[in-house]
Chain A
Amino acid sequence: GAVVSQHPSRVICKSGTSVKIECRSLDFQATTMFWYRQFPKQSLMLMATSNEGSKATYEQGVEKDKFLINHASLTLSTLTVTSAHPEDSSFYICSASRSAAYNSPLHFGNGTRLTVT
């Protein structure tokens, strides 16, 4: 069964509104979670690393004030897309790993398909 849950799976919003996406680890504690974005026919691109109890680490080119990340507990990270615009329409996916070992595979949430009109 799923080990990482993401909600909502689909959202349509108007330009200028904010959208919050939740990512939960279901049966393990995740001090670190990762947020990815995937445009059609493109590879997953890491946006940021969410760290429990501290600030997220953003990848180059990702605006931290636009993509707000909060990792308030060991099982929950949220990504808020603020003042969304049509170019933010994408597939957003979170992930976490049971272990901090570098060769521990990632488990992904089911993704959130965001459409900004």
Chain B
Amino acid sequence: RKEVEQDPGPFNVPEGATVAFNCTYSNSASQSFFWYRQDCRKEPKLLMSVYSSGNEDGRFTAQLNRASQYISLLIRDSKLSDSATYLCVVNKDNYGGSQGNLIFGKGTKLSVKP
């Protein structure tokens, strides 16, 4: 299994649709999980951290399943501005104090159409 694996997409959805992205990770010792979004030819920007209990931020919901080593991101009521590549990010191990141990997935591309 790759360290962080994502479906590359693209996901082409109409405005208003609900779309879900999945991500699997290989290291069961990983402790930190994030979703970043990256617009074309731009730097990644943090979308949300992912907590064990699941967390929601407006139209975005992130969930973590440690047993299955699986992370998800759900986007409700998609907007045109949601079009981007969504990166699943996992820390490599359970070392404290070193964000450099982050592993980035290749990303899932989302295209929201009018």
Contact = CB atoms under 8 A, between A and B. Distances in A.
The answer to whether A and B interact is yes
Interface of A: 6, 32, 34, 41-46, 49, 57, 91, 93, 95, 97, 100-111, 113
B1 interface: no
Contact of A110 (B34, B42, B105): B42
A46 B100 contact: yes
Contact of B99 (A34, A44, A45, A111): A34
B99 A91 contact: no
Interface stretch (B14-22, B55-63, B68-76, B90-98): B90-98
20 contacts: A32-B100, A34-B100, A41-B106, A43-B104, A43-B106, A43-B107, A46-B100, A91-B41, A95-B99, A101-B96, A102-B32, A102-B95, A102-B98, A103-B32, A103-B91, A104-B99, A105-B46, A105-B49, A109-B43, A111-B42
Q: Which of B43, B87, B102 has the most CB of A within 10 A?
A: B43
Contacts of A57: 100
Contacts, number: 63
B106 A93 contact: no
A107 B45 CA distance: 7
Contact of B97 (A44, A100, A106, A109): A100
How many chain B residues sit at the interface, stated as a range, is: 20 to 34
A43 B105 contact: yes
A102 B43 contact: no
B54 interface: no
B100 A102 contact: no
A97 B106 contact: no
Q: Which of A45, A103, A109 has the most CB of B within 10 A?
A: A103
